[in-house]
Amino acid sequence: MKKTIVSAALGALALGVVFSAPAQAADVSACLITKTESNPFFVKMKEGATAKAQELGVTLKAYAGKAEGDNESQVAAIETCIADGAKGILLVATDTKAIVPTVKKARDAGLVVIALDTQLDPPESADATFATDNFLAGTLIGKWAAGTLGDKAKDAKIGLLDINASQPSVDVQRDQGFLTGFGIDVKDVKKNGDEDDPRIVGNEYSNASEEGARTAVENLLQKDSDLNVVYTINEPAAAGAYEALKAVGKEKDVLIVSVDGGCPGVKNVAEGVIGATSQQYPLMMAALGVEAIKKFADTGELPKPTEGKNFFDTGVSLVTDKPVAGVESIDTKTGTDKCWG
C-alpha cells in the first residue's frame, strides 16, 4: 500500500516535470553552471551568457559551486534545471568524471547539455563542447618557455601548479601540453605527475587560487631552490606564485607561464609578473552556448565540432611582450583589447 502511494507520488512528480516543460516552450529557458563565482573567468562567462540570452529572449539562470572541486553543488544545480523545465544546460564541470551520470539524467529528461571550457570525461557525455584547445594552450606556453630559456632549457628546474587531486581534464590537458611544448616526455598523456624527467621539481595542487599557489611554490622552493620555471593552471594561481617568489627575492629569476588571458592576467604580462599566457575567449564560449540552446529549442539541431577535433574550438592566442621565434604570439596591447574580466 505504502509502495503504491510513493510510486504514485513519484509518477505525479515526473508527470509534473514533463508537463511543465511544454508550458514554458514559448519562452526558452537555459541554465549556466560554472565552477565558482569568484574566478573572473566564470564571472565573465556569466556576463557573456546573460547578454546573449537577453538579446535572444532566453531566460537564463546561473549556478556555481562553492569552490574548485565542489561537485555536489553542480549535481544539485543540474537537478534543479531538470525540475525547472529548462531547455538546455551550459556546464563548466568541476569534476569531469563524477558529473557524467547526472548529465545523463538531464539528457534523458530531454535537455541539451553543452560543456563549456572543459570537456567531460568521456567527451561524448555532453551533446556538444565549446572550449579552448587546452592542450594547444599548454603547448604554446611550453614552447615559449623553452625558447626563452634557449640553451638553458636542458637544465631547467620546472615546478607545476595543477588544480587538485581529481585532475579534471582541463588540468591534465594544460599540464601535459605545457610539458610537451617544453620538450619533455609526458609518459601517459592522460595523467599528471607520472613524468620522470629530472628537470621537473614537482607537481603541487594549488586549487587554482592565490592562497593555494603561494604555499605550493614555497614547497617547491624547499624541494629545489634553483627553481626557474613555474607553470600555473590559471592567472590567480600565477599571482599567488609570484607573491611566494617575491617573498624570497626570486621573482626576477623565475619564468611564470599561465593560461587564461583575463584582463588582470594580461596586465600582469605587461608588468612582467607573468612571462606569457595563453588567452582564451570565455565570452565567446558562453554566447555560442546560449545560441546553440536557442537553436536546439527552435529546430532540434546541435552544433557541429571543429574539423578534426571532438569539440568546437573557440580559439587561443599566446600573449607576451617577449616573442620567441617560431611561436606565434600577440603583444599585450592586442591582448588587452581582446581580454575579459
Partner 1 sequence: MSKQSTTVKLSSDFETVLADSSSQVASFDTNEKSLMMKFQHFLHSSPAMVPLIVLIMSIIFFGALVGGKFFSAFALTLILQQVAITGIVGLAQTLVVLTAGIDLSVGAIMVLSSVIMGQFTMRYGIPAPVSILCGIGFGGLMGALNGFLVAKIKLPPFIVTLGTWQIYSATVYIYGNNETIRSQDIEAASPLFQLLGHSFRIGSAVFTYGVVLLLIMAAVLWYILSKTAWGRHVYAVGDDPEAAKLAGVSVTKMLISVYLFAGVICGIAGWALIGRVGSISPQSGQFANIESITAVVIGGTSLFGGRGSILGTIFGAMTVGVFALGLRLWGTDPQWTFLTVGVLIISAVAVDQWIRKVAG
Binding site for partner 1 (CB under 8 A): 36-40, 43, 66-67, 165, 202, 204-205, 207, 209-211, 214-215, 218-219, 222-223, 236, 239-240, 242-243, 246-248, 264, 267-268, 271, 273
In angstroms, what is the minimal distance from the CB of 235 to partner 1?
A: 10
Q: Which is nearer to partner 1, 242 or 311 (CB)?
A: 242
Task: Give, in order, the Cα–Cα distances in Å from 265 to each of 43, 63, 73, 103.
Answer: 15, 25, 28, 32
Query: What 3-state class would DSSP assign to 121?
Result: coil
In angstroms, what is the minimal distance from the CB of 208 to partner 1?
A: 8
Strand pairing report for 200-205 and 158-162: parallel
In angstroms, what is the minimal distance from the CB of 217 to partner 1?
A: 11
**What cell numbers appear for 287 in the block?**
554566447
10's CB contacts (< 8 A; 6+ apart) are none
Q: Which is nearer to partner 1, 177 or 265 (CB)?
A: 265
Q: Which is nearer to partner 1, 144 or 242 (CB)?
A: 242
Q: Which is nearer to partner 1, 66 or 309 (CB)?
A: 66
Q: Which of 236, 237, 217 is nearest to 228 (CA)?
A: 217
DSSP H helical ranges for 263-330: 263-270, 282-299
In angstroms, what is the minimal distance from the CB of 177 to partner 1?
A: 23
Q: Which is nearer to partner 1, 133 or 175 (CB)?
A: 175
In angstroms, what is the minimal distance from the CB of 264 to partner 1?
A: 5
Query: What 3-state class would DSSP assign to 283?
Result: helix
Q: Indicate the Cα dihedral angle 77, 80, 82, 87, nearest 10°.
A: -70
- Dihedral of CA 69/73/77/79: which sign? positive
In angstroms, what is the minimal distance from the CB of 205 to partner 1?
A: 6
Residue 279's φ and ψ, nearest 5 degrees, are: -85, 130
Q: Which is nearer to partner 1, 29 or 209 (CB)?
A: 209
12's CB contacts (< 8 A; 6+ apart) are none
Q: Which is nearer to partner 1, 127 or 210 (CB)?
A: 210
In angstroms, what is the minimal distance from the CB of 323 to partner 1?
A: 24
Question: What distance in Å separates the CA atoms of residue 218 and residue 238, rounded to the nearest whole number?
Answer: 13
Question: What distance in Å separates the CA atoms of residue 99 and residue 35, rounded to the nearest whole number?
Answer: 12
In angstroms, what is the minimal distance from the CB of 214 to partner 1?
A: 6
Q: Which is nearer to partner 1, 91 or 220 (CB)?
A: 220
In angstroms, what is the minimal distance from the CB of 159 to partner 1?
A: 12
Q: Which is nearer to partner 1, 119 or 258 (CB)?
A: 258
Residue 170's φ and ψ, nearest 5 degrees, are: -60, -35
Residue 132 near residue 117 (C-beta atoms within 8 A): yes
Instruction: Please report the beta strands in 132-251, taking only residues with DSSP state E, as ranges in sequence order.
Output: 158-162, 200-205, 229-232
